[in-house]
Amino acid sequence: MSGICGFFGCSDRIALKKMAEILNHRGPDNDGYFSENLISLAQKGLNAKDHTKKIYPLKNEDNTVFMILDGEIYNYQELKNMLKKNHKFCSTVEEEVLIHLYEEYELDFIGKINGIFSIVIYDSKRDWLILARDRIGIKPLFYYLDVKNKTLIFASEPKAILKYPSYSFEVDYDSIRNFLIFGYNKSLNTFFKGIKKVPPATICIFDRNKFQIKTYWRPNLEIKNTEERFFTKSLNGLLEDSIKRRLEGDLSIGINLNGTLNSALITAFAKKLGEKIKTFSVGFDYNENEMKYARAISAKFDFEHKQNIIEKEAINDLSKIIYYLDEPISDLASLPLYNLSKMAKDKVSVILSDEGNDTIWCGHKHFKTYFRLCNSVSKLNIVGGRGDGFKQLFAKTSESRYKVDCALKILRNDPNFLLYGKVFRQDEEKEIYTESFLGETNEVSIKDMTLRDIPKNSTFLQKMVVADFSTLLVDNYLTRLDRITGANVLDSRLPLIDQQVIDFSFKVPDKFKIKNSNGEYIIRKTAEKILPKDLMNTNKRKNSTTFNFWRGEIKDFGESVLNESVLRERGYFKVEAIAKILNNLERKDIRNELKLISLLSLELWHKIYVDRKF
């Protein structure tokens, strides 16, 4: 893990230093600076594989190509063997292979990498700057284009760009509307006006005259129709190889045992590979099912296990979490993760997580909901105009009508199904926002999102997986994991969404992803071959459990922070609408809880970044 930053178009060593220092939590072990003419690069590095002292930025033999990197390259040895005939390697640093790969293939180099990365390369001969991000978007990268000064500023986190002198701070109000519909910022923008995300699977080129973004990878959705045994055997081999790659190095490694079958699967493979690993879990009660399951898994494979019981006072970490995320949150899942990361950082340098698996194998609840719904609508043959009549006649509640409408959009190849609201819905916006705020902002649109191409002939489940893969996974789950583990100087690795596993997942037929109304079917069949029977049944904690633990604290916090004077000063929301949400908290309505957490964390974000009270 590293924190990288810099700019191309002007020279300012003091600004570079300030930008890098604010990223120190991402890499306190090594640092390096390069500033010459109009290019400035900085990297703060964490030794996540070994204790080798590294020099940043990396450069080629004739000092014409310079590179900084946040991430890991898993096929570096294969690449090195391919390149050593024509290139001289001057160090034992794995990342050096990328310099020579770029020299050999120029912009096409990026498609040959298997890894997780954000890469920045300056080529003095071409006089251009390249920004590139891995296929999935595991490693973050942001940029701000100063058009007036023909300068591109970039960093691993937006907060570093705020330190650049020419950046004039403004709130991106459209991002507020986006966040309050989806529960995360489902767009290429950030909450800071003008600061944007480098999209996953893209390479950006800036030569001071123009800025281009090119997509270098798209998922291949061609399904392979063969028997179940082929898929379980293939997946078993791919997962073992992936976990083996992520266990390399001489530093201590841990596993986040979070009560899922997926985290148990990682633990079982680690044992099979002969590794001695520490496991970690957190919970609200020593006897809750998730904690029991974590202890049983760790004991079964004879690993050292550490656990922590979360206290009520942990709610006070909310402001810190929002600071590190650079954005508000809509649920409290970040608090247990932050607690676990604080515990693990004293024992290990790397933590393995099962994040992403639920997305590619359809484990989330909404996959099963819409799988059943889309199947029902298809069988009734009402995808055309009659579908709207069905929605009005049989969907009795606004919630069910909304879901039927979303299903119809999926089946009609209407990409607007992506606008389904998790927190507030578009038809609720007039109830909560002031007229002045609505007048100054734009409606949420799919044109602002990072979308992969979805062929019209793809199945409705494929459409949902690709949509979540493009947005929910990268903009919500991976963002949370990267920032919160990074805040605690932990390098997170994700073996279940390795590049080769992702490619394979898109070839697997829908019937092996959801079967008998259960998601992750093929993962369960794979797990049966490596996990004991008594450890196949899991009971992962629900988000509602997390909220209930802090229900009283959140209500008091909300009434204190979201008071009338604050709401009138911001000018976003109608005071009576927010009061209604606070008063309805006792009803234990999940969407109402999401609304309150979203509004509360949004105000905390304002206090940190607008009022500068942190």
Confidence of residue 389 (pLDDT cuts 50, 70, 90): low
Dihedrals φ, ψ of 147, to 5°? -65, -40
Q: For residue 325, give the 3-state DSSP assignment.
A: helix
Q: Which residue has the tokens 């080529």?
A: 123
Number of neighbouring beta carbons within 10 Å of residue 104? 15
Confidence of residue 538 (pLDDT cuts 50, 70, 90): confident
pLDDT of residue 337: 97
pLDDT of residue 395: 59
CB 40 within 8 A of CB 32: no
Q: CA separation (Å) from 310 to 175, 299, 546, 594?
A: 32, 22, 10, 21
Confidence of residue 450 (pLDDT cuts 50, 70, 90): low
Number of neighbouring beta carbons within 10 Å of residue 241? 16
Collect all residues with Cβ–Cβ distance below 8 Å to 45 and sequence separation of at least 6: 1, 2, 27, 29, 30, 31, 32, 54, 56
Number of neighbouring beta carbons within 10 Å of residue 440? 12
Q: CA-to-CA distance for 201 and 215, rounded, in angstroms?
A: 6
pLDDT of residue 540: 65
Share of the chain above pLDDT 90, in %: 74
CB 68 within 8 A of CB 42: yes
Helices (H), 158-312: 158-161, 173-182, 228-246, 261-272, 289-300
pLDDT of residue 545: 72
* Residues 494-521 pLDDT 10s: 999 999 999 999 999 999 999 988 899 9
Angle at 480 between CA 479 and CA 485, to 5 degrees: 110
- Map out the domains of the chain with their CATH numbers: 2-215 (3.60.20.10), 228-360+471-535 (3.40.50.620), 365-470 (no CATH), 550-609 (no CATH)
Task: Of 561, 543, 555, give the one whose Cα is nearest residue 585.
Answer: 555
Confidence of residue 391 (pLDDT cuts 50, 70, 90): low
Confidence of residue 50 (pLDDT cuts 50, 70, 90): low
Q: Which long-range contacts (CB under 8 A, 24 or more apart) does 218-223 make?
A: 218/452, 218/453, 219/452, 219/466, 219/469, 219/502, 219/503, 219/506, 220/503, 220/506, 220/507, 221/454, 221/455, 221/458, 221/462, 221/466, 221/506, 222/506, 222/507, 223/506, 223/507, 223/508, 223/509
Amino acid at 179: F
Q: Is the dihedral of CA 482, 133, 174, 445 positive or negative?
A: negative
Tokens linked to 50:
């070994």
Q: CA-to-CA distance for 63 and 44, rounded, in angstroms?
A: 21
Q: For residue 483, give the 3-state DSSP assignment.
A: helix
pLDDT of residue 558: 93
pLDDT of residue 248: 86
* Residues 112-155 pLDDT 10s: 999 999 999 999 999 999 999 999 999 999 999 999 999 999 99
Of residues 379 and 164, the one with the higher pLDDT is 164
Instruction: Please give the model's pTM, rounded to 2 decimal places.
Output: 0.94
Of residues 409 and 36, the one with the higher pLDDT is 36
Q: Which residue has the tokens 């797990």?
A: 527
* Residues 400-420 pLDDT 10s: 777 777 878 877 777 778 788
Of residues 390 and 98, the one with the higher pLDDT is 98
The size of the chain, in residues, is 614
* Residues 175-217 pLDDT 10s: 999 999 999 999 999 999 999 999 999 999 999 889 999 999 9
How high is the mean pLDDT of the chain?
91
Task: Of 311, 301, 239, 316, give the one whose Cα is nearest residue 267.
Answer: 301
Share of the chain above pLDDT 70, in %: 94
Amino acid at 328: P
Q: Which residue has the tokens 């007229």?
A: 435
DSSP state of 341: H
